[in-house]
Structure formats: C-alpha cells, structure tokens
Amino acid sequence: MKKMDLKPMLKPASVAIIGASRDPDKVGHVILQNYLNGGYPGRIYAVNKSATEILGVKSYVSVLDIKDTLDLAVICVPAAFVPDVLDECGRAKVKTAVVVSGGFAEIGAQELQDRLVAIANKYNMPTLGPNCLGVMDPRSRVDTLFLPTYKLSRPSVGGVSFVCQSGAVGSTVLDLISGEGFGLSKFISYGNAAHVDEVDILNYLMDDPETKVIIMYIEGIKRGKEFIEVAKKITKTKPVIVLKAGRTSAGQAAAHSHTAALAGNYESHEAVFRQFGFTIADDLSDLLNYAKTLESEPMPKGGRVAIITNGGGTGVLTADAIGLSGLLQLADLSEKSKTDLKKVMPPLVNLRMPLDIVGDADEKRYGDALDILSKDDGIDMFIVIMLFQTPGADSRSAAKLISFKERMDKPMIVLSIGSEYTRMHRIMMESAGLPVYDSPSAAVRSLTELFKYSNYRNRPTPKT
C-alpha cells in the first residue's frame, strides 16, 4: 500500500492561507490569526486578490506569485473556486493542501468534489477535506482550525492523536481534552475524505514517534480492505480507540448528509474493530476515558485489581464494578502484605480487599499502603480512591500519589468524586500524567479496556 507523505501538512516550514481576510468574521481571518497568535515559527503567506497586507502579513494575488517552496496551502474560499485554486497550488508545486471549504459531496455536489480529487491526483498533492477543520499539531504550532482560541481552548503537547471526520465533534473533544489535563500530539479533521482518508492518516500515525495512542471518530470507511491491512499492523504497536457513528438507519442517513460518508452496517464494522484489536468507545466520554489510561499506563500482566480507599462505600461500588466487568477480578492480599500492613495501619483497618484505610487517611497512610501493595505479586493493577472531602486528603496526599505514579511499574488510576476542591486536585494529578475518574464504572471500564488491549498485543496477529 502506497503511503501518502503527510509530514509537510503537519510539520510545514511554510504555509499559505488562501482566502485570508481582513474581516474578523471570515474563516480566512481566524486561521491566519491563529497561526500568528500560536507562535508558528515557519514562513506565513496570505493570498487574497483584494488586499496587499492582512494582519501585518504581505498578501499575494495568487499562490503562483509566492517565490518560495510551500509545504502547505490552507484553502478557505467558496467551493466553486476551490478546483482552480487547487490547480494553481499544483502548478506552484505546493506539497500538501487542506480544503476547509464546504459545499461539495455533502450537499450533493459530487462532480465538484471529483474535480478536486482529479487535480490532487494529477499533481500527487495530498489534499485533506473538503468540509473539514484541517490539522493541528501543538509541537509545530500548525493550526488550521477556523475556531478562535477564546472559544476553543488548545490542548497542551502530549501523546494522543485525534482523527475525526466531523469538525463539530472534533472541536468539542479538543475542548474537553484541554480540560482533562492530558496532551495532544496531532488533530486531523478530514471531513469528506475525498483524497486523504482514514487509511492514509492511520498509515502516517503508525510511524509517527510522537503518537502513543490514536482516538478516532468516524462516520464511514471508504477502503475496507486497505483499512483492515493497516489495522492489523497499527494495533500491534499502538492502541486505537474508535467511536463509530451511524449505528442506526437514522444515524447512517445523517452521516451521509454530514460528510457524504457511506456509514454501512455497524455490526460489520464492529466485528472488524474487535477482530483487529481496536478499543470500541460507545460515546465521547469513553473516547476520552480510555485514552487517558491507554496513553499513560503500562501493560498489565493480569487482571487482578487492588482497591485502596478512604471511603468504604465507594470501595464497595468499585468492587461491584470489577465483578460486573466480566474480565477483571478483585485481588487478594498476600500473607506478607497483610503482615506488613498490620505494622503500619491503625487497628480499624480490615486487612482485605477493598483495602479501606478509613476516613482520616493522610498522605503517609496512602504511601504506606502503596509501598507495600506495589510489591505484592498477586496484584496487577490499582484503583486508588481518594475522596477529598475527608480530613486527611489534601494536596500532600495528591502529591504522594503522583510520586508513586512516577516509579510504579503497574497500572494505577485514581477515582475521585467531588466538586471544586476535588476538581482542583484532579487537574493537579492529571497534569502529572495520573488518570483520574469520577465514577467507579468509568474507572473500571478504562482498566478493562487496558487489560483487553494488553491481551490482544500478546496474541498472534489475526488473519483476514
């Protein structure tokens, strides 16, 4: 399978904004502003037939007038003009293009979209879109999103790459990622997938050293056979979490009118995803919850989970969630762990799972419990429950968990439920790479998916 080179699109040394505008309400103005505000270090060119300068950037009548090698052209002109503009890009030897403009196959203008594809193929110029948000790479400061930063927070640098067919879903999830505290490697919104599609994107991300985990929102798959071929390879090295829209006939019809996607039978897609190791998300919350754990945690050796809690009832609910998972099981304490715990825990603590270190637990008690249980060979994973409403739980306790996370060789996630004080500490822990969840079911489901993916990695590659 021939791979498209998307590096000039995501790591461009030079970019032209075609359709840049002086009008703050225009898409071309916002995109140019984002490049300037975001500190993009490369060379920026504006293209607008009616202006000589926009936001302090010299403007050209045509991309053909720019005497520079251009890695990327961002096209945001009305749909009818896109083929001619793209052809000019081809003649100017632009390496890649992003067409954010809508008005193509998603509204029935298939012939116009076919012209775009023919031009992209003629010049061997990878072209993303049309009808998309484009790309964002926090490391290279590339940002083609036509959404201003005061409305959409930009995530910090991280290891999760997000591939999204829908711009609306993409912008929402990006905003949520910013608030969740884990970072972004790449964002690729590909819209109608007229030229560059999900297969091309996965092929690129498979070899991208900056991408640890891939999350996907897709409405349809264009090239089923090629998708399976790349799936077999990528999931053996990187987790791929997928949320597939169009599960019902109503959803399939909506997908077609949205991005001209042929959504197809959901059960067939799901069977392929499961066979080739994809982690399946049922909603946007799953997409983010699974990503946090799969990015940060090591592969577990087994499915035995220890619960350490400062709230007995929450520990019981979490034990129930483990029992209902069908795959994980509550760990048993070894006799050595019980002996060692008895030396450091108050008499009120029952030495069994869940390990309830009672409501006045402070950073020392959490540290003692983790120090002992991390050495227990009968434990494969940890859920640490920290309820910040109790007297001993504070920033020192959160810092203690962070310090253990930095040296723990087993998966460890945190369950913490509460309002403002809890949220403050949740941000503190997640910013340090420690996944935090706000319900027992979300925490257990995330560990379950980590365990399932670990098992898949250790199995022989399935045959088609």
* Token reading at 350: 């029952």
3 state SS of 145: coil
Residue 292 and residue 164 share a domain = yes
Residue 277 and residue 172 share a domain = yes
| pLDDT value of position 268 | 83
Residue 139 lies in a domain: no
| pLDDT value of position 262 | 45
Cα atoms in the 13 Å half-sphere on the side-chain side of 51: 20
Residue 433 lies in a domain: yes
Residue 462 lies in a domain: no
Which residue, 131, 165, 188, sits at the end of a domain?
A: 131
Average pLDDT estimate for 243-248: 77
| pLDDT value of position 178 | 83
Distance CA 108, CA 127 (A): 20
| pLDDT value of position 148 | 79
Residue 248 and residue 322 share a domain = no
268 contacts 244 by C-beta, under 8 angstroms: no
Residue 55 and residue 121 share a domain = yes
pLDDT at 250 over 80: no
| pLDDT value of position 269 | 86
Residue 306 and residue 428 share a domain = yes
307 contacts 332 by C-beta, under 8 angstroms: no
| pLDDT value of position 249 | 54
Average pLDDT estimate for 161-186: 89
Tens digit of each residue's pLDDT (9 = 90 or more) over 264-297:
577 888 888 999 999 999 999 999 999 999 999 9
Q: Is the dihedral of CA 346, 328, 290, 314 positive or negative?
A: negative
pLDDT at 150 over 80: no
CA distances 372 to 300, 386, 399, 404, 442, Å, are 18, 18, 18, 12, 26
CA angle 21, 91, 26 (to 5 degrees): 15
The strand pairing partners of 53, in sequence order, are 58
| pLDDT value of position 286 | 94
- Average pLDDT for the chain: 92
Residue 137 lies in a domain: no
Higher pLDDT pick, 264 / 147: 147
Closest CA to 383 of 457, 301, 438, 324: 438
Residue 162 and residue 101 share a domain = no
Number of DSSP helices (H) and strands (E) in the chain, helices first? 16, 20
Residue 140 lies in a domain: no
pLDDT at 50 over 70: yes
Residue 36 and residue 169 share a domain = no
Confidence of residue 157 (pLDDT cuts 50, 70, 90): very high
Which residue, 281, 296, 311, sits at the end of a domain?
A: 296
CATH of the domain at 365: 3.40.50.261
Of all residues in the chain, what percent carry a pLDDT higher than 70? 95
* Token reading at 357: 């270190």
Tens digit of each residue's pLDDT (9 = 90 or more) over 332-345:
999 999 999 999 99
Cα atoms in the 13 Å half-sphere on the side-chain side of 261: 29
Residue 292 and residue 281 share a domain = yes
105 alpha-carbon distance from chain centroid: 27
Residue 85 and residue 66 share a domain = yes
Residue 143 lies in a domain: no
- Domain range spanning residue 183? 152-296
Average pLDDT estimate for 131-144: 96
Confidence of residue 461 (pLDDT cuts 50, 70, 90): low
Residue 412 and residue 315 share a domain = yes
Task: Please state the domain count of the chain.
Answer: 3
Confidence of residue 182 (pLDDT cuts 50, 70, 90): confident
Number of residues assigned to the chain: 464
Residue 219 lies in a domain: yes
Which residue, 266, 296, 326, sits at the end of a domain?
A: 296
Residue 242 and residue 112 share a domain = no
Residue 147 lies in a domain: no
Residue 451 and residue 328 share a domain = yes
* Exposed/middle/buried for residue 347 (C-beta within 10 Å: 0-12, 13-18, 19+): exposed
DSSP symbols for 318-338: HHHHHHHHSS-EEPPPPHHHH
Average pLDDT estimate for 147-153: 79
CA angle 318, 307, 370 (to 5 degrees): 155
Sequence-separated (6 or more) residues with CB below 8 Å from residue 428: 395, 398, 399, 402
* Exposed/middle/buried for residue 21 (C-beta within 10 Å: 0-12, 13-18, 19+): buried
Tens digit of each residue's pLDDT (9 = 90 or more) over 405-454:
989 999 999 999 999 999 999 999 998 999 999 999 999 999 999 999 99
Cis before residue 130, ω within 30 degrees of 0? yes
pLDDT at 222 over 80: yes
For the entire predicted model, the pTM comes to: 0.90
CATH of the domain at 2: 3.40.50.720
3 state SS of 426: helix
pLDDT at 251 over 50: no
| pLDDT value of position 122 | 98
